[in-house]
Amino acid sequence: MLLSCPGLLSRAGAAEHAPPPAGVATSYPAFDQHPVEQVAIAAEPYNTQEKASIFRFKYLKYGFMPIRIIVTNNGDKPISLIDARINFITAAGDKIPAAEPEEVERRIGGIKRPDGGYKLPGPLPRIGNKSSTKNKDVDEDFHEFEYSAVAVEAHTTRAGFLFYDVEGMANPLAGGKLNLRMLRSADGKELFYFEIPFDKYLHGASTTH
């Protein structure tokens, strides 16, 4: 399912609100633009309870931050994200891959791996590869909101969410950034990596209040 502008109908078990329709990536405070490749990507953290109320499950309470990824392709050919790696890089330089729903379920149940960690081996997830969990709310959120557009067609914007484990971080966005690699053009050529500083989002959010 391609998540360009999710329009959610009110129904039993549905998320409380739909996210606003996705604008072009350059309309958001935090974005990186490659004029030559004609691609722009924005990252919009849902770092407050008010913004995160669109989801069925309270991810922030359990240390997971939803981040909306907005990809705008202004070129004349599609780009592929099938091999994309989209990592949250902390101010200390730690790399956090996007979480799978099973990781959220482990956190809910307080179940750790034998080595004491929660994370599954990376790189995960693969764009477009849906997995399931026994928690209905988490399962439905990931299926409905997770970024899954394996291709972004010419002159098109696609958007969706990835979820990152930021448990224990007082202010994970400060000095952090989103790093996107292994995006490819229609001929298979790898695009130059995208790097989106979250400080741009924090500055933009502070100027709107």
Q: Residue 147 has what DSSP assignment?
A: -
Q: What is the pLDDT of residue 18?
A: 84
What tokens appear for 206 in the block?
């502070």
Which of the four pLDDT bands, split at 50, 70 and 90, describes residue 169? very high
- Least confident interval from 68-72, 169-173, 204-208: 204-208
Q: What is the mean pLDDT of the chain?
A: 85
Q: What angle do CA 43, 44, 50 make, to 5 degrees?
A: 165
Give the C-alpha separation, 36 to 17, whole Å.
Answer: 37
Tens of pLDDT along 19-66?
A: 889 999 999 999 999 999 999 999 999 999 999 999 999 999 999 999
Q: Does domain 25-206 have CATH number 1.10.1660.10?
A: no
Which sequence spans correspond to the domains of the chain?
25-206
The pTM assigned to this predicted structure is 0.82
What tokens appear for 135 in the block?
């928690």
Q: Where do runs of H (alpha helix) occur along 110-193?
A: 136-145
- Least confident interval from 13-22, 46-55, 98-107, 178-187: 13-22
Contact (Cβ atoms closer than 8 angstroms) between residue 72 and residue 43: no
DSSP H or E run through 67: strand 64-73
Residue 12 has pLDDT above 50, yes or no: no
Residue closest to 17 by CA, chosen among 54, 49, 46 = 54
